[in-house]
């Protein structure tokens, strides 16, 4: 059984701690947080876990083999590199870091110390996301033409990161996964800061991939609706993944194809508008699947789905957008 420590129990941290504590594959020995209130909450809910405000004590603990990092984004790099140098496996909340060179250094340290470095792109462990991936890989949708996503909400405005870095890692990670990790040909972004200076509240991100595939990512915490939707348009069929809907995947047998015409004639088109299929998809908690995958990578040497290679592509796109 793995002995785990968790650093940070802020916004997402309680979910990680709940999942880790209920797992039969690990023992959560220590939780670190700078907030005395959060430490008190952990002690009340999990009296068997040691709580402290000292990261060094965890890194120096020979019993701890892996560290889960759920702290503000600006601290990810320092904590991740310190943990790897101390010989710990790491699972870091997204994004792994905010600079490409920092992700590359984390990757190099993980390789040097033969440790797993994994980033928490939880949606890649979601059954609907994996279902859409299978549709794309099987050719059911045909050739992919374009993808667009919206991740919108009103509120939870942050100051440490903008809407791009807060929301877009999810959708970029999913798109990269669906398309088999391509390198973009171009990245263009347009955003605006309305509530705080230099902190974008809304961003439109346009990515061009090889084979004439384009993707558009729209993120905002200044929107009247809560939207978590992605659409994939293929030459054969189209699919909508809506994480807020009861039926999270809808396959549309729709399309438009150009027909070959005679010289001098106006082009003709085939319009298809068939059934909408709502597949039954087995359900499991993505976060639990993510944690189990982390353990599999440590114990069995499984290829890490959200390792440094995947994290690097996501951060490259986000960094390019910020400097576009």
Cβ neighbours of residue 182 closer than 8 Å, sequence gap 6 or more? 176, 209, 210, 213
Q: How many helices (H) and strands (E) does the chain have?
A: 9, 14
pLDDT at 319 over 80: yes
Q: What is the pLDDT of residue 213?
A: 98
Mean pLDDT (whole number) for 15-29:
96
Q: What is the pLDDT of residue 323?
A: 55
- The residues pairing with 189 across neighbouring beta strands, listed in sequence order, are 205
Q: What is the pLDDT of residue 155?
A: 86
Q: What is the pLDDT of residue 261?
A: 62
Q: What is the pLDDT of residue 158?
A: 87
Mean pLDDT (whole number) for 287-312:
96
Q: Are 119 and 94 in contact (CB under 8 A)?
A: yes
Q: What is the pLDDT of residue 290?
A: 97
160 or 172, higher pLDDT: 172
DSSP class of 211: G
Mean pLDDT (whole number) for 122-138:
97
Mean pLDDT (whole number) for 179-205:
95
pLDDT at 82 over 60: yes
Q: What is the pLDDT of residue 259?
A: 73
Give me the half-sphere count of Cα atoms (radius 13 Å) on the Cβ side of residue 248.
Answer: 15
Over residues 232-259, the pLDDT tens digits come to: 999 999 999 999 999 999 999 988 877 7
Over residues 101-112, the pLDDT tens digits come to: 999 999 999 999
- The answer to whether the pTM exceeds 0.95 is no
Mean pLDDT (whole number) for 143-167:
93
Main-chain dihedrals φ then ψ at residue 176, nearest 5 degrees: -60, -40
Band of pLDDT at residue 167, cut at 50, 70 and 90: very high
pLDDT at 324 over 70: no
Q: What is the pLDDT of residue 249?
A: 97
Q: What is the pLDDT of residue 263?
A: 64
Q: Considering only CA atoms, which of 184, 180, 277 is closest in space to residue 238?
A: 277
Please name each of the domains of the chain with its CATH number.
2-120+287-306 (3.40.50.720), 124-283 (3.30.360.10)
Tell me the C-alpha distance between 83 and 95, whole Å.
17
138 or 161, higher pLDDT: 138
Q: Are 56 and 85 in contact (CB under 8 A)?
A: no
Over residues 264-292, the pLDDT tens digits come to: 676 778 888 888 999 999 888 999 999 99
Q: What is the pLDDT of residue 273?
A: 84
Q: Residues of the chain with pLDDT > 90: what percent?
A: 87
**Residue burial 268-300, b: 16+ Cβ < 10 Å; e: rest:** eeeeeeeeeeeeeeeeeebbbbbbebbbebbee
- The H or E element that residue 81 is part of is helix 76-85
């Amino acid at each position: 059984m793995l002995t785990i420590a968790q650093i940070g129990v802020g916004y997402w941290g309680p979910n990680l701690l709940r999942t880790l504590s209920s797992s039969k594959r690990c023992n959560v020995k220590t939780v670190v947080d700078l907030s005395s209130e959060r430490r008190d909450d952990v002690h009340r809910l999990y009296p068997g876990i040691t709580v402290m405000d000292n990261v060094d004590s965890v890194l120096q603990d020979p019993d701890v083999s892996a560290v889960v990092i759920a702290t503000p984004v600006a601290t990810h790099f320092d904590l991740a590199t310190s943990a790897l140098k101390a010989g710990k496996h790491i699972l870091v909340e997204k994004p792994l870091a905010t600079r490409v060179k920092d992700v590359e250094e984390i990757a190099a340290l993980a390789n040097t110390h033969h440790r797993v470095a994994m980033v928490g792109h939880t949606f890649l462990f979601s059954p609907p996301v994996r279902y859409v991936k299978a549709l794309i890989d099987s050719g059911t949708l045909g050739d992919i033409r374009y993808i667009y996503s919206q991740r919108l909400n009103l509120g939870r405005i942050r100051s440490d990161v903008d809407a791009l870095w807060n929301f877009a890692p999810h959708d970029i990670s999913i798109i990269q996964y669906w398309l088999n990790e391509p390198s973009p040909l171009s990245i263009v972004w347009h955003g605006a800061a309305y509530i705080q200076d230099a902190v974008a509240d809304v961003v439109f991100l346009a990515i061009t991939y090889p084979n004439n595939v384009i993707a558009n990512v729209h993120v905002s915490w200044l929107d009247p609706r809560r939207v978590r939707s992605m659409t994939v348009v293929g030459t054969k069929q189209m699919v909508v993944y809506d994480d807020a809907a009861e039926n999270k995947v809808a396959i549309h047998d729709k399309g438009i194809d150009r027909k070959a015409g005679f010289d001098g004639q106006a082009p003709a088109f085939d319009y298809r508008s068939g059934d909408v299929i709502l597949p039954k998809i087995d359900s499991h908690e993505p976060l639990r699947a993510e944690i189990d995958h982390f353990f599999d990578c440590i114990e069995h040497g499984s290829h890490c789905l959200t390792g440094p290679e995947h994290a690097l592509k996501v951060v490259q796109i986000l960094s390019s957008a910020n400097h576009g």
